[in-house]
Amino acid sequence: METLSTHSHNYDSGLMERLLFRVAKKWVAGYGAGEAVAAALGANSRGMSAILNFLGEDTADVSAVEQTVSEYLSLMDMMHARKVQGCVSAKPTQLGLAIDYELCLQNFRRLADRARELGQFLWLDMESVKFAEDTIAIYLKLLDQYDRTGVAIQAYLRRSASDLLHILEHGGKVRLVKGAYHEQEEHAFSTREEVDANYVKLMKMLFESKSYFAIATHDSSLIEEAIRMNVSKKFEFQMLMGIRDELKGELVGRKFAVSEYIPYGSQWLPYSVRRIRERKRNLLLLARSLIQQ
Ligand SMILES: Cc1cc2nc3c(=O)[nH]c(=O)nc-3n(C[C@H](O)[C@H](O)[C@H](O)COP(=O)(O)OP(=O)(O)OC[C@H]3O[C@@H](n4cnc5c(N)ncnc54)[C@H](O)[C@@H]3O)c2cc1C
């Protein structure tokens, strides 16, 4: 028998989800691929390339992984048909890394095959540190066969300088980010100063390499540092949808290559929680939306 409290719990969680989505949709294109493609075309019209991500992570179920692969394949076709300038970026655990390494590698190969057919690039997101080793191994295996692929490296991880060196030795392409997950001190720098200093160190390694790379941050001082280090323009800036739009426009105006990362899909909650946590003001935004309902 259902109790009153079950009812009120369901009501509360549905309401909470709707209120949270009001805030989340600042960072997320919507639930479907059509909305993501429309947002990508919008980014293109503002002089940026688009990087689309179908939200989902830590998938433990093989059939859900298979659905995710199908989603990415049809998204890539749709991007091609609608003449989107851009590519996709996938998380290893949504392609099966939490289940089986070989399954994940095989799935990335399927996406890379399609990307190659369509002339698109393919990015691998980086998740929590327990997946870092396998993600890099998968990336280097892919790189053997698919040149137009790249992987995210997180400046907050202590291991990242040696990972980056290893990837650059293989001619790999890297998206440098600060890092978005909660990690233990043994793995990650904990102060902003240490993370930023490591970001600058890794960025210098990228500028000294021959590889293409992406500086993925909204941090003005790191962006200015990149502009100071730049001599050859073999890199791009990448920023997330809904964050610092005026800065994106300014960089496009200064003739830098800029890509906007655009997530979509029903699994928007963990992604949005990471965005809310990054900035105190976003908590206020959330509180205001709760009050206004
Ligand atoms: C294209 C792209 C891809 C990414 N891929 C990955 C990945 O694969 N793995 C991973 O761990 N992380 C990834 N990240 C996230 C990244 O690790 C950081 O968590 C995120 O970019 C915030 O750090 P920041 O470099 O912008 O610096 P911060 O110091 O956090 O922010 C600098 C400034 O940017 C603005 N800002 C930053 N975040 C917000 C926000 N949420 N809301 C409003 N303003 C904000 C503020 O003005 C802030 O002062 C990616 C980021 C980008 C841009």
Per residue in 40-81, pLDDT (tens digit) is: 999 999 999 999 999 999 999 999 999 999 999 999 999 999
Q: Is-contact 261 53, C-beta < 8 A?
A: yes
Q: Is 244 in the pocket of ligand 1 (CB under 6 A)?
A: yes
Q: How far is the CA of 9 from the centre of ligand 1 (A)?
A: 33
Residue 3 belongs to a domain: no
In a domain, 104, yes or no: yes
pLDDT at 10 over 60: no
Would 173 be classed as within a structural domain? yes
25 part of a folded domain:
no
Q: Which atom of ligand 1 is nearest to the CA of 91?
A: 8
Task: Tell whether ligand 1 has an atom less than 6 A from the beta carbon of residue 275.
Answer: yes
Is the pLDDT at 186 greater than 80, yes or no?
yes
Tokens of 274: 């990471």
Nearest CA to ligand 1 atom 48: 219
| pLDDT tens, position by position, 192-247 | 999 999 999 999 999 999 999 999 999 999 999 999 999 877 899 999 999 999 99
Please report whether residue 16 resides in a domain: no
User: In total, how many domains does the chain have?
Assistant: 1
Confidence of residue 12 (pLDDT cuts 50, 70, 90): low
Of 199, 243, 277, the one to substitute when testing ligand 1's pocket (max ligand atoms within 8 A of C-beta) is 243
With respect to residue 15, please indicate whether it lies within any of the assigned structural domains. no
Q: What is the pLDDT of residue 5?
A: 38
Average pLDDT, the chain: 93
- pLDDT value at position 293? 57
> What number of other Cβ atoms are within 10 A of residue 107's Cβ?
22
Per-residue model confidence (pLDDT) at position 9: 46
Provide the pLDDT confidence category of residue 13 given band limits of 50, 70 and 90. low
Distance 188 CA to ligand 1 centre (A): 16
How many whole angstroms from 243 Cα to the centroid of ligand 1? 8
Which entry of 125, 163, 196, 275 is annotated as an active-site residue?
125
Q: Out of 20-29, 217-226, 281-290, which region has the weakest mean confidence (pLDDT)?
A: 281-290
Q: Out of 51, 157, 217, 220, give the residue to mutate to test ligand 1, the one with the largest number of ligand atoms within 8 Å of its CB.
A: 217
Asked whether the predicted pLDDT for residue 157 surpasses 50, the reply is: yes
In a domain, 22, yes or no: no
* Containing structural domain, residue 222: 30-292
Write down the pLDDT at residue 7. Answer: 41
pLDDT computed for residue 265 by the predictor: 96
pLDDT category, 121, cuts 50, 70, 90? very high
Whether pTM exceeds 0.85: yes
Report the separation in Å between the CA atom of 245 and the middle of ligand 1, taken as the mean of its atom positions: 13
State whether the beta carbon of 181 lies less than 6 angstroms from ligand 1: yes
| pLDDT value for 202 | 98
For the question of residue 125 being annotated catalytic, the response is yes
Ranges 56-65, 111-120, 164-173, 274-283: which has the least confidence: 274-283
pLDDT score recorded for residue 8: 42
CB count in 10 Å sphere of residue 80: 14
Residue 248 Cα to ligand 1 midpoint, Å, equals 14
Residue nearest atom 17 of ligand 1, based on CA coordinates: 179
- Decide whether any atom of ligand 1 lies within 6 Å of the 288 Cβ: no
Tell me, yes or no, whether 231 lies in a domain: yes
Q: What's 85's domain CATH number?
A: 3.20.20.220
175 among known catalytic residues: yes
* Any atom of ligand 1 within 6 Å of the Cβ of 90: no
User: Ligand 1 test: best mutation among 218, 225, 245, 283, most atoms within 8 Å of CB?
Assistant: 218
